Structure 1
């Protein structure tokens, strides 16, 4: 009972984080074909600058290989330093173009230019007041996803279907970061304004049908619904919806 209450409190905190970020990272601006080679992001979930990059990845429907680098982490921080020369995050590595980029503003500009063929839209441009609000947003989630915790490492990375603004998905990403578990982040942002709202209470009434031919449609055809977070662990064969169930699984399977 106490765990369930605590989980709901965490959800409300995560809602506050999304609110301080003005709910960026929910709607898809332009669906981009996935590049031939996966984009890699060395990332710290609680970092507001990393959040800016993840928001844009959702806006472009781009999947990414997440290499979690929480403070005190020993798994991917040295690797990031070897790749880029320093432990600074976010760090984006794109083997399609042989680009290694620091600084969230530079990464955001690169992603829109390289994959959308356009400048950064106003909604995603850096504003003077954003760092303060984003930092408050991280504090609202008690800085979860900031520091490494002991745990077991899977042999293969996990797969998480998510979008940045989803409060429920954030809870899972925070725990994956703390445990330093690498994962493929499959962005499943909302493709139309009628999809705004929780999975079971969208703005548009009636039976939900995603836009044909899109990523959400492919997910719907496979699972009969579109709901995030959704986790697949090829190490154990587990396939899970619902943040509470996923968190319990991660703590049981990989927690220290």
Structure 2
């Protein structure tokens, strides 16, 4: 029942995102090295950046910085001078940015090859919508849980507005577990249809978004979240199973 309630709350958050963080329109230039994002899942301003990353189809290395965290919060202060989130570092250009609007504008200019959508840049609109989406999950994805640090970052296939992937990202944040976020935004109409229905409507369906193609090749199916842990050789679908695994393996 608890997990069912969590899913319902997360579905509400997704609805309040007003359609952002689902589809991808892609990018013009691919970063040679992974972008680095220091953030908290439950932070509304961090959410705006993640929505833009999904729209741009840009993978990113996430370093979770929950309140009370001691792994990456001090590093952000040393690098940028203050503990403020989100904080983006781009090893490809040397750029380092606070402020969600500045980060979003930078990402579209540097990698998107197009202007950033105004709905992400107009302060009153972006703040209200992002804050509303945070309310149903207000206690989650912000505060520290004691954990054991992994030797290598984990890997998560996700898209921002996925209600099931959100639950996993919350736990990764709380446990301070770094992970490579692999974008799986929808880029064709078949991606919006539930798999059983899609099988009837489009029996010859083939994914075109790059990480969805990878999932199909690796596992024979496409669903998010999908977690890969190189530290243990574990790979899992299903949010409830992934949460149980993270708690069992890393929580103290």
- TM-score band by shorter chain is over 0.9
Matched, 1:158 2:193: no
Distance 2:169 2:225 in 1: 9
1:228 alignment partner in structure 2: 224
Say which of 231, 249, 252 aligns to 2:245.
249
Return closer, same or farther for 1:213/1:28 CA change in 2, 3 Å cut-off. closer
Distance 2:167 2:68 in 1: 20
Return closer, same or farther for 1:163/1:254 CA change in 2, 3 Å cut-off. same
Say which of 200, 205, 209 aligns to 1:209.
205
Q: Is the 8 A contact 2:21 2:161 kept in 1?
A: yes
1:255 Cα shift?
1.4
Return closer, same or farther for 1:120/1:239 CA change in 2, 3 Å cut-off. same
Q: Is the 8 A contact 1:27 1:193 kept in 2?
A: no
TM-score normalised per structure 2? 0.94
Number of residue-to-residue matches in the alignment:
252
Distance 1:16 1:182 in 2: 26
Q: Report Cα offsets for 1:205-227 as digits up to 9, x if no partner.
A: 23362344733223212221111
Listed as ranges, the gaps of 5+ residues in structure 2 are: none
Q: Is the 8 A contact 2:39 2:46 kept in 1?
A: yes
Greater shift in the superposed pair: 116-125 or 21-30: 116-125
Say which of 33, 36, 40 aligns to 2:32.
36
2:235 alignment partner in structure 1: 239
Listed as ranges, the gaps of 5+ residues in structure 1 are: none
Say which of 116, 141, 162 aligns to 1:145.
141
Say which of 96, 99, 102 aligns to 1:100.
96
Matched, 1:69 2:65: yes
Q: Report Cα offsets for 1:125-166 as digits up to 9, x if no partner.
A: 435143233223212013310111112111111000000010
Distance 2:161 2:200 in 1: 19
Question: Structure 1 segments of 4 or more deviating over 6 A?
Answer: none
Return closer, same or farther for 1:31/1:160 CA change in 2, 3 Å cut-off. same
Task: Give the number of the structure whose residues are more often helix, by fraction.
Answer: 2
Distance 1:252 1:122 in 2: 43
Distance 1:203 1:108 in 2: 36
Matched, 1:186 2:182: yes
Greater shift in the superposed pair: 183-192 or 131-140: 131-140
Cα root mean square deviation, aligned: 1.9
Say which of 8, 16, 23 aligns to 2:19.
23
Distance 1:45 1:213 in 2: 24
Distance 2:120 2:25 in 1: 11
Q: Is the 8 A contact 1:195 1:204 kept in 2?
A: no
Return closer, same or farther for 1:134/1:225 CA change in 2, 3 Å cut-off. same
Q: Is the 8 A contact 1:34 1:63 kept in 2?
A: no
